[in-house]
C-alpha cells in the first residue's frame, strides 16, 4: 500500500516569526481531526461513502484506516478524495491535478474545488467550479459548490442561484441545507426551521446523518435565545466526538458580536474533541478578541501542533509575537460630573515606533469619547476598555479576521477596539480620529446591550455619533448612496441588516452604513436623542426593530419607512435625481482646471457647491474654488471659502495647512489653533504644528492640551527637544507642580545648556522668585 505522507513537516517558532503573513497554503501533514464534512450529493464514490460511515459516527481510527486503504485505488479521483479526507492536503491537491490533466469530467474539478473551499481559498475554488461548468453547464454538484463558495463572500447572488436550483430540484438535500444555513446567517430563524422541517424526512430516507441538521437547529435556538442542549445531546449520541455541534453553532454568536459567549461554546467543542484543530484555533482567536492573550496563545499553539499549515493559525501566532512587543499604557477616565470618581480605565496598545507620538492623542480621544458616550447612553463600562492601533495594516487585518488584506479601518469586539494607525495608510488618507471615535461608540453601545442590538443600529449609531459629537462634522453622503436613493434601493428598516450581510448590488454595504446613520440622525432630529437611547435599551431586552421603534417613537417599521422616505426625498431627492447633471458639472470643472481657466472654474465650482453644499470629501468643489481664487490673487476669498469647508467637516491636510499660515499671518490665532487641531487627527506627525499648538494652549491656560502637544512633539524626536521640555515645565507650573517643572527644565538644559529661557526659569526656581 502506498503512503500519502511519510513525515510531518515542522515549523519552529523562530521560523514562524520569519515567515510573515500567510494568505493560503496547501501542504501535506499527518492525519488530523478537522470539522466533519457530510456528503449530501450522489457524486461521492461508494468506496469513500463506506469510509464516511465510520467518520459520521466518530469511529475516527476505522475511518482513517479505510481512507488509507484507498491510497492505491485504480481510480485517481478516489485516491485524491481519500487523501483529502485524511487531511493530506498537498497530496490530495497533487492527485486532483493529475486526475484533471487528461479528463473533462466535471466531477474532478468540482471535488478539487471543495478541497480549496475547505482550506478557505474561495477564489481558487470558484475558478475550478466555473471550469467544471464549462464541461457541463448543468452539473448540479458544481452549481451547488459555486453557491456554497459564493455564500462565503456574503453575496446575495447565492440566494438567486439557490432558488433556481430548488425550482428544478425541490427535494435536493444539499440545496435545502444550504438554504437553511443562509436563512440563519440572516437570522431568519422561522424560515430556517421551516426548511429544516422539509429536509428532515429526505435525510432520513437517504440514510444520511442528522448531525448538521441538529447543528442548524441548535443555531436557530441560539439566535432565538433558547437552549441548545437537547440538539447537542442528539448529535453527540450519534457521534461522541462531534465537537462541531458547539464550534459550528458558536459562529452564530460571532455574527452577532457575542464573543464571550462564543468562547464558552468553543471550550465545549475542544473538551469534547481536543484534536479538532479549527475549534482550537477559533477558541484562541476569540480569546484574543476578549483580551485573554494567555488563553489565546495556549489554544492557538494547540491548533498549530495539530495543523501547522492553517493560515489563520500561523497568522495569529505571528500576531501574538507582535503583541508581546507593543507598548502598553493606561489612563483612568475621570467622571466630568464628579471628578472624585472615574468612569473606567483605558488600556492602550501601540506599536513602539508610533507610541510616543500617538499616545497623547489616543489617550485624549479615548477619555473624551468615554465621557461623552457614557453620559449620552447612560452606561458605564464594567471593565477596562482596550484600544489598539497598528502601523502595519496587515497586522490589523490579522487582528480582525486572522487574514491580511481586509478593507476595514477599525473593528470592535466588545471592550476591545482595534484600528489602523495613521502610518498604516498613505499620508493623509483617512481621518483616524473619526475612526477611533466611531469604534469607541461601538464599545459603549455593544456593551450596554450585551451585544444584542442589530447590525444596522450598531453601525448607524456610530456613524451618527461621528457626525454629531466626533472630531469632524463631515456629513458627506457618497455618490453611491445618492444613486441608491435615486433608484429606490434603500431597504426597509426591518430588513436593513440584510444590506450588511447579503448585499444585492455592488456597494450596498457602504450604502447600508449611510442609510443606518441617516436613520439615527433623522430619529434624533425629529424625536430627540433620547429616542435612540430608548431603542438601545429595548434591543438589550431582545426587542425587534419594529417593537423598539414603537416604544421609542410610537410607530412600527413600515410606518417609519414612510416618514424616512419623505425625509430623504426632502433632503436629497432633487440632488439624487439630478446626479447626471451634477457629475457633468464636475467633469466640466475638471476640464476648466486642466486648461487653467480659473474664472470658469470659479463659476462652475460655485454651482456645484450650491447643488450639494455638504460635500466636503476628496475632490470637493470648495477646495477647487479656493485654488481658483488663489490663482486670481484673492487669498481672502479663498480663506473664507475654506473656513466654510472646514466648518462643514472638510479635512484635507494641504488645504488646512494653507489656512493655518493665512490665519496666523492675519493674527487670527484662535481660528488657526482650531484648524491645526483638526490637522493632527489626520496627520499627527508634523513637528511644527505640535510646537505652535502647544505654545498656543499654554498661553490660554489650556494646560492639559498643551502637555498633550508637547508630549506628541517629543514623541516625534525633534532634533532640538528643549523647547518642548520647557513648554512642559511651564505647563507644570500652571498646574502648581513646581517639582515636575524643575525636572523638565533640567532636562531641557541637558539638551541645550545655553538655552536662555530655560536658564531664566531655573534661576527663578533657585532664587525663589515668581515663576507664574
List, for residues 415-464, the tens digit of each pLDDT value.
999 999 998 887 777 899 999 999 999 999 999 999 999 999 999 999 99
Helix (H, G, I), strand (E, B) or coil at 333: strand
* Separation of CA 374 from chain center: 23
| pLDDT at site 406 | 64
At residue 34, the pLDDT reads: 67
Residue 761 has pLDDT above 70, yes or no: yes
Q: Which residues contact 270 (CB under 8 A, 6 or more apart)?
A: 243, 276, 279, 280, 283, 299, 302
Average pLDDT of span 610-633: 95
Picking from 22-26, 598-602, 684-688, which range would have the lowest pLDDT averaged per residue?
A: 22-26
On the question of pLDDT at 310 being above 80, the answer is yes
Kind and range of the H or E element at 702?
Answer: none
Within 10 angstroms of residue 2's Cβ, the number of other Cβ atoms is 9
Strand partners, 332: 345
pLDDT-derived band at 1, boundaries 50, 70, 90: very low
**What is the predicted pLDDT for the residue at 26?**
40
Residue 9: pLDDT above 50? no
Say yes or no to pLDDT of 168 above 70. yes
Does the pLDDT of residue 758 top 90, yes or no? Answer: no
- Residue 19's alpha-carbon distances to 22, 26, 299, 352, 758, in angstroms, are 8, 15, 20, 21, 50
pLDDT band at 401 (very low <50, low <70, confident <90, very high): confident
572 secondary structure, DSSP code: I
Using DSSP's 3-state secondary structure scheme, residue 389 falls into: strand
Average pLDDT on 727-745 reads 90
Q: What is the pLDDT of residue 17?
A: 37
DSSP secondary structure letters along 619-669:
T-HHHHHHHHHHHTT-HHHHHHHHHHHHHTT---HHHHHHHHHHHHHTT-H
- What mean pLDDT value characterizes the chain? 90
Task: Determine contact, residues 278/304, Cβ cutoff 8 Å.
Answer: no
Cβ–Cβ contacts within 10 Å for residue 633, how many? 9
Name residues whose C-beta falls within 8 Å of residue 123's C-beta, 6 or more positions apart in sequence. none
419 phi/psi in degrees, rounded to 5: -160, 170
Give pLDDT tens digits for 103-145: 999 999 999 999 998 887 888 999 999 999 999 999 999 999 9
Return the CATH fold of 325-575. Neutral Protease; domain 2 (1.10.390)
* Residue 201 exposed, middle or buried by CB count within 10 Å (0-12, 13-18, 19+): exposed
Residues comprising the chain, all counted: 772
Joined together, the cell numbers standing for residue 68 give: 488509507
User: In angstroms, how far is CA 50 from the centroid of its own chain?
Assistant: 43
Alpha helices in 290-409 (DSSP H): 293-306, 311-325, 352-376, 393-401
Q: Is the CB of residue 645 less than 8 Å from the CB of residue 636?
A: no
Q: What is the mean pLDDT of residues 461-489?
A: 95
Which of the residue ranges 154-158, 427-431, 648-652, 736-740 would you say has the lowest mean pLDDT?
A: 154-158
Phi, psi of 332 (to 5 degrees): -85, 140
Tell the CATH superfamily of the 580-685 domain.
Answer: Tetratricopeptide repeat domain (1.25.40.10)
Q: Is 188 helix (H, G, I), strand (E, B) or coil?
A: coil
SS3 state at 406: coil
User: What is the pLDDT confidence band of residue 151, given thresholds at 50, 70 and 90?
Assistant: confident
In this predicted structure, what is the pLDDT of residue 719?
86
**To which H or E segment does residue 571 belong?**
none
Q: If pLDDT is split at 50, 70 and 90, which confidence band does 77 have?
A: very high
Distance (Å, whole) CA 667 – CA 95 = 76
pLDDT of 592: 96
- E strand or H helix at 338, and its extent? strand 338-350
Reading across the β-sheet that carries 338-350, which strands appear in turn? 327-335, 338-350, 385-390, 416-420, 410-412
Asked if residues 679 and 428 have their Cβ atoms less than 8 Å apart, the reply is no
Of 720 and 366, which is predicted with more confidence?
A: 366
Q: Tell me, what's the pLDDT at 128?
A: 96
- Using CA atoms, how far apart are residues 192 and 204, in angstroms rounded to an integer? 18
Q: What is the pLDDT of residues 64-76, one digit of tens each?
A: 999 999 999 999 9
Specify whether the CB–CB gap between 62 and 78 falls below 8 A.
no
pLDDT band at 25 (very low <50, low <70, confident <90, very high): very low
Smallest CA-to-CA distance from 610 within 595, 622, 597, 601 is with: 622
Give, rounded to a whole angstrom, the gap between the first and last alpha carbons of the chain. Answer: 90
Instruction: Give CA–CA dist 212/40, Å, rounded.
Output: 11
Question: Structural domain boundaries of the chain?
Answer: 1-103, 325-575, 580-685
pLDDT at 503 over 50: yes
Locus of grid cell 463659476: 603
Could you please report the per-residue DSSP string of 436-455? HHHHHHHHHHHHHTTT-S-H
Q: Could you give the CA distance from residue 286 to residue 372 in angstroms, rounded to a whole number?
A: 29
- Weakest mean pLDDT among 15-19, 256-260, 263-267, 335-339: 15-19
Helix (H) or strand (E) holding 305: helix 293-306
Confidence of residue 720 (pLDDT cuts 50, 70, 90): confident
Q: Which of 429, 356, 425, 362 is closest to 389 using CA atoms?
A: 362
User: Per mean pLDDT, which range of 28-32, 417-421, 646-650 is the poorest?
Assistant: 28-32
Rounded CA separation 744/16 (Å): 44
- Give me the percent of the chain exceeding a pLDDT of 70: 94
Per DSSP, the three-state class of 340 is: strand
Residue 708's pLDDT band, with cuts at 50, 70 and 90, is: very high
Share of the chain above pLDDT 90, in %: 75
- Which helix (H) or strand (E) segment is 676 a member of? helix 669-680
Cβ-proximal residues to 69 (8 Å cutoff; 6+ apart), any chain? 1
Per mean pLDDT, which range of 10-24, 182-196, 603-617 is the poorest? 10-24
Rounded CA gap, 311 and 403, in Å? 8
pLDDT score, position 7: 36
Of 7 and 357, more confident: 357
Amino acid at each position: 500500500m502506498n503512503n500519502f505522507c511519510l513525515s510531518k513537516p515542522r515549523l519552529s517558532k523562530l521560523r514562524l516569526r520569519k515567515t510573515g503573513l500567510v494568505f493560503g497554503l496547501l501542504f501535506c501533514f499527518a492525519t488530523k481531526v478537522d470539522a466533519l464534512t457530510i456528503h449530501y450529493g450522489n457524486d461521492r464514490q461508494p468506496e469513500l461513502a463506506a469510509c464516511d460511515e465510520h467518520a459520521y459516527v466518530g469511529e475516527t481510527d476505522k475511518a482513517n484506516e479505510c481512507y488509507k486503504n484507498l491510497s492505491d485505488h485504480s481510480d485517481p479521483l478516489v485516491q485524491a478524495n481519500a487523501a483529502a479526507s485524511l487531511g493530506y492536503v498537498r497530496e490530495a491537491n497533487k492527485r486532483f491535478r493529475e486526475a484533471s490533466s487528461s479528463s473533462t469530467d466535471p466531477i474532478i474539478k468540482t471535488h478539487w474545488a471543495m478541497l480549496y473551499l475547505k482550506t478557505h481559498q474561495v477564489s481558487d475554488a470558484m475558478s475550478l467550479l466555473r471550469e467544471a461548468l464549462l464541461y457541463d453547464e448543468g452539473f448540479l454538484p458544481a452549481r451547488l459548490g459555486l453557491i456554497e463558495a459564493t455564500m462565503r463572500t456574503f453575496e446575495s447572488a447565492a440566494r438567486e442561484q439557490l432558488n433556481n436550483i430548488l425550482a428544478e430540484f425541490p427535494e435536493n438535500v444539499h440545496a435545502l441545507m444550504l438554504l437553511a444555513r443562509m436563512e440563519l446567517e440572516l437570522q431568519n430563524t422561522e424560515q430556517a426551521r421551516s426548511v429544516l422541517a422539509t429536509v428532515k424526512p429526505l435525510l432520513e430516507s437517504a440514510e444520511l446523518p442528522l448531525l448538521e441538521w441538529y447543528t442548524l437547529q441548535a443555531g436557530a435556538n441560539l439566535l432565538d435565545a433558547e437552549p441548545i442542549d437537547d440538539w447537542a445531546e442528539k448529535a453527540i449520541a450519534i457521534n461522541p466526538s462531534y465537537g462541531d455541534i458547539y464550534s459550528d453553532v458558536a459562529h452564530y454568536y460571532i455574527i452577532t458580536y457575542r464573543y464571550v459567549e462564543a468562547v464558552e461554546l468553543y471550550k465545549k467543542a475542544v473538551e469534547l474533541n481536543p484534536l479538532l484543530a479549527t475549534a482550537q484555533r477559533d477558541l484562541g482567536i476569540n480569546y484574543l478578541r476578549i483580551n485573554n492573550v494567555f488563553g489565546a496563545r495556549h489554544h492557538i499553539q494547540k491548533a498549530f501542533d495539530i495543523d501547522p499549515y492553517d493560515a489563520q493559525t500561523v497568522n495569529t501566532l505571528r500576531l501574538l509575537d507582535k503583541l508581546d512587543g507593543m507598548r502598553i499604557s493606561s489612563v483612568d477616565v475621570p467622571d466630568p460630573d464628579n471628578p472624585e470618581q472615574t468612569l473606567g480605565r483605558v488600556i492602550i496598545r501601540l506599536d513602539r515606533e508610533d507610541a510616543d507620538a500617538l499616545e497623547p492623542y489616543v489617550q485624549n480621544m479615548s477619555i473624551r469619547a468615554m465621557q461623552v458616550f457614557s453620559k449620552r447612553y447612560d452606561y458605564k463600562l464594567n471593565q477596562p476598555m482596550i484600544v489598539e492601533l497598528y502601523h502595519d495594516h496587515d497586522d490589523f487585518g490579522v487582528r480582525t479576521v486572522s487574514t491580511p488584506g481586509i478593507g476595514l479601518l477599525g473593528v470592535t469586539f466588545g471592550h476591545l477596539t482595534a484600528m489602523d494607525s495613521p502610518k498604516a495608510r498613505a499620508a493623509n488618507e483617512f481621518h483616524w480620529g473619526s475612526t477611533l471615535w466611531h469604534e469607541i461608540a461601538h464599545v459603549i453601545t455593544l456593551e450596554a446591550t450585551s451585544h444584542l442590538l442589530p447590525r444596522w443600529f450598531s453601525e448607524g449609531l456610530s456613524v451618527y455619533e461621528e457626525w454629531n459629537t466626533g472630531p469632524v462634522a463631515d456629513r458627506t453622503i457618497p455618490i453611491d448612496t445618492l444613486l441608491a436613493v435615486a433608484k429606490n434601493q434603500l431597504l426597509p428598516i426591518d430588513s436593513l441588516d440584510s444590506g450588511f450581510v447579503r448585499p444585492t448590488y455592488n456597494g450596498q454595504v457602504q450604502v447600508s452604513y449611510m442609510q443606518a446613520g441617516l436613520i439615527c440622525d433623522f430619529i434624533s432630529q425629529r424625536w430627540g436623542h433620547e429616542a435612540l437611547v430608548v431603542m438601545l435599551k429595548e434591543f438589550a431586552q431582545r426587542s425587534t426593530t419594529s417593537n423598539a421603534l414603537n416604544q421609542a417613537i410610537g410607530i412600527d417599521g413600515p410606518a417609519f419607512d414612510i416618514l424616512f422616505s419623505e425625509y430623504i426625498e426632502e433632503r436629497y431627492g432633487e440632488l439624487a435625481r439630478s446626479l447626471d447633471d451634477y457629475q457633468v458639472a464636475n467633469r466640466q470643472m475638471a476640464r476648466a482646471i486642466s486648461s487653467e481657466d480659473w474664472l470658469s472654474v470659479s463659476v462652475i465650482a460655485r454651482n456645484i457647491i450650491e447643488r450639494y453644499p455638504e460635500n466636503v470629501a476628496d475632490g470637493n468643489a470648495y477646495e477647487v474654488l479656493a485654488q481658483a481664487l488663489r490663482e486670481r490673487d484673492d487669498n481672502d476669498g479663498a480663506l473664507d471659502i475654506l473656513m466654510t469647508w472646514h466648518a462643514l467637516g472638510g479635512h484635507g491636510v494641504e488645504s488646512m495647512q494653507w489656512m493655518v499660515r493665512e490665519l496666523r499671518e492675519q493674527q487670527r490665532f484662535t481660528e488657526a489653533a482650531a484648524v491645526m487641531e483638526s490637522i493632527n487627527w489626520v496627520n499627527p506627525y508634523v513637528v511644527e504644528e505640535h510646537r505652535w499648538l502647544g505654545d498656543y494652549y499654554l498661553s490660554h491656560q489650556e494646560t492639559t492640551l498643551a502637555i498633550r502637544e508637547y508630549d506628541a512633539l517629543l514623541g516625534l524626536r525633534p532634533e532640538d527637544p528643549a523647547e518642548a521640555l520647557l513648554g512642559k515645565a511651564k505647563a507644570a507650573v500652571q498646574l502648581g507642580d513646581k517639582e515636575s517643572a524643575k525636572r523638565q527644565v533640567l532636562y531641557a538644559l541637558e539638551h541645550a545648556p545655553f538655552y536662555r529661557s530655560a536658564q531664566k526659569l531655573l534661576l527663578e526656581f533657585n532664587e525663589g522668585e515668581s515663576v507664574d
